[in-house]
């Protein structure tokens, strides 16, 4: 999304452009908002954290001689008296993808300076995220009632609980933090902090710009991205 | 990004592409749920899970996170470190096989030599 035309330097496509970008004077990624570059680097480090969790889960699950609990039975939910495998998890996945879609549209409308659409789409994203956290809280309490603990559970290998609470808990924390920021930025957009050259934010003299919505969107899509991997490895595998 | 030099205009894309990706993500999630619904097992299950997972992750990163339109320097800075994660996965896969082997050996064969 960054502009390839920067004052005095037009990037060629592909690796040639990459070489001149990397070797250019003073700063790399000229024309990319610094906040966006920083958010990407933060997300890269967060990727490593989540990878370590998932890899340790692989190691723990692979190295136990006790049978692993069957996730499609553990996470089944009774609908009309019939146990449906992974029902809640499927709904959570769809809710998170829906909120990711509204966020992508919010970024687009933000760049088009459509204040109302952008603000309300961020609000819808926040509501979707809140729904997700609520369903996750329900899932946690259901499993805790059934006797799942970080050190034991009635379904199989004892490591199951610790990996479950660690991985989904860390992801849920990310979603919760994202929801808080989504509400803040929905307010900021609707209140017009990015209109007419932008209003100064808290603790900064810099003026607001709709690029902040793209940066917020990167974080939110990352949360969805992590869920894709958790859904595949923890719930489906 | 094709028809104008205006900076603001350069940053937006047609709404259709977002809606298409959105629909695709729904369909792919539905398919990956169906993998569990029909209780596919073994290699078929794992390959389908991985296939849908990577497709979904790729779509989110390329279009929702705009990496498809992002410059190469940024894309490469983000994607090359992933090879370190891939190495780590292979290392730990070898490690868990060894741990499982030694557990089975000492639990069931016994270690009192």
Average pLDDT score over residue span B58-67: 91
Chain A CB contacts of B39 below 8 Å: 72
Q: How far apart are the first and last CA of chain A?
A: 35
Chain B CB contacts of A29 below 8 Å: 71, 73-74
The widest CA-to-CA distance across chain B, in whole angstroms, is 79
Instruction: Name the residue of chain B whose CA is nearest to A113's CA.
Output: B8
Average pLDDT score over residue span B75-100: 93
Question: What pLDDT is stored for residue B39 in this prediction?
Answer: 85
Task: State the complex-level ipTM.
Answer: 0.86
Q: Kindly report the CA angle at B44 between B40 and B46, in degrees rounded to 5? A: 90
| SS3 (DSSP) at A44 | helix
Q: Which residues of chain A have pLDDT under 70?
A: 1-9
How far apart CA A88 and CA A109 sit, in angstroms, is 32
Range 216-235 of A in CB contact (< 8 A) with B: 217-218, 221-222, 224-225, 228-229, 231-232, 235
Tell me the per-residue pLDDT of B6-22, one tens digit each, with 9 for 90 and over.
Answer: 344 445 788 888 999 99
Question: What pLDDT is stored for residue B8 in this prediction?
Answer: 42
| Contact partners, residue A168, CB within 8 Å, separation at least 6 | A136, A139, A140, A230, A234
Residue pairs between chains A and B whose CB atoms are closer than 8 Å: 160
CA distance B90 to chain A (A): 10
Give me the architecture of the A35-236 domain, per CATH.
Answer: Up-down Bundle (1.20)
Is B4 a residue whose pLDDT tops 60?
no
Tell me the per-residue pLDDT of A175-197, one tens digit each, with 9 for 90 and over.
Answer: 999 999 999 999 999 998 888 87
Mean predicted lDDT score pLDDT of chain B: 84
Inter-chain CB proximity A65 and B107 less than 8 Å: yes
DSSP code at position A31 = T
Question: What pLDDT is stored for residue A178 in this prediction?
Answer: 96
CA distance B73 to chain A (A): 5
How far apart CA A40 and CA A5 sit, in angstroms, is 21
Inter-chain CB proximity B60 and A13 less than 8 Å: no
Question: What pLDDT is stored for residue A81 in this prediction?
Answer: 76
**Tokens 């933090």 — which residue?**
A177
Range 95-124 of A in CB contact (< 8 A) with B: 97, 100-101, 103-105, 108, 111-113
Q: Where are the beta strands (DSSP E) in A85-197?
A: none
Task: Show me where the domains of chain A are located.
Answer: 1-32, 35-236
Question: What pLDDT is stored for residue A6 in this prediction?
Answer: 61
Chain A CB contacts of B52 below 8 Å: 232
Inter-chain CB proximity B60 and A113 less than 8 Å: no
Q: Which of B19, B74, B95 sits opposite A40 (nearest CB)?
A: B74
Judging by beta carbons within 10 Å of its beta carbon (0-12, 13-18, 19+), is residue A104 exposed, middle or buried?
buried
In angstroms, the Cα distances linking A149 to A73, A133, A154, A187, B39 are 17, 20, 9, 39, 27
Question: What pLDDT is stored for residue A8 in this prediction?
Answer: 59
Q: How far is CA B31 from the centre of its chain?
A: 15
- Decide: A113 and A103 in contact? Cβ < 8 Å: no
Judging by beta carbons within 10 Å of its beta carbon (0-12, 13-18, 19+), is residue A166 exposed, middle or buried?
middle
The first and second tokens of residue B102, run together, are 């030694």
Question: What pLDDT is stored for residue A2 in this prediction?
Answer: 62
């Amino acid at each position: 999304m960054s502009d390839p035309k920067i004052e005095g330097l037009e990037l060629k496509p592909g690796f040639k452009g990459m070489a001149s970008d990397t070797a250019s004077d003073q700063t790399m990624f000229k024309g990319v908002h610094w906040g966006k570059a920083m958010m990407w680097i933060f997300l890269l480090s967060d990727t490593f954290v989540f990878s370590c969790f998932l890899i340790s889960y692989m190691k723990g699950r692979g190295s136990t001689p006790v049978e692993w609990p069957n996730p499609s039975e553990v996470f089944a939910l009774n609908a009309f008296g019939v146990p449906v495998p992974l029902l809640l998890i499927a709904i959570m996945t769809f809710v998170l993808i829906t909120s990711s879609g509204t966020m992508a549209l919010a970024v687009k409308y933000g760049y088009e300076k459509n204040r109302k659409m952008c603000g309300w789409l961020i609000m819808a994203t926040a509501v979707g995220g809140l729904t997700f956290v609520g369903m996750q809280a329900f899932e946690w309490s259901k499993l805790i009632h059934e006797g799942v603990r970080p050190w034991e559970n009635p379904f199989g290998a004892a490591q199951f609980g610790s990996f479950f609470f660690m991985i989904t808990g860390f992801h849920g924390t990310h979603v919760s933090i994202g929801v808080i920021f989504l509400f803040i930025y929905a307010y900021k957009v609707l209140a017009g902090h990015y209109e007419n050259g932008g209003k100064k934010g808290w603790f900064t003299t810099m003026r607001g710009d709709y690029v902040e919505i793209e940066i917020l969107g990167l974080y939110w899509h990352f949360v969805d991205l992590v869920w894709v991997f958790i859904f595949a490895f923890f719930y489906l595998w | 990004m094709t028809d104008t030099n205006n900076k603001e205009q350069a940053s937006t894309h047609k709404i259709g592409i977002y809606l298409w990706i959105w629909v695709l993500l729904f369909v792919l999630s539905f398919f990956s749920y169906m993998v569990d619904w029909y209780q596919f097992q073994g290699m078929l299950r794992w390959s389908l899970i991985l296939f849908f997972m990577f497709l979904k992750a790729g779509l989110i990163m390329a279009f929702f996170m705009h990496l498809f339109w992002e410059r190469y320097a940024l894309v490469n800075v983000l994607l090359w470190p992933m090879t370190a994660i891939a190495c780590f996965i292979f290392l730990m896969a070898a490690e868990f096989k060894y741990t499982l082997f030694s557990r089975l050996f000492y639990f069931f064969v016994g270690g009192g030599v």
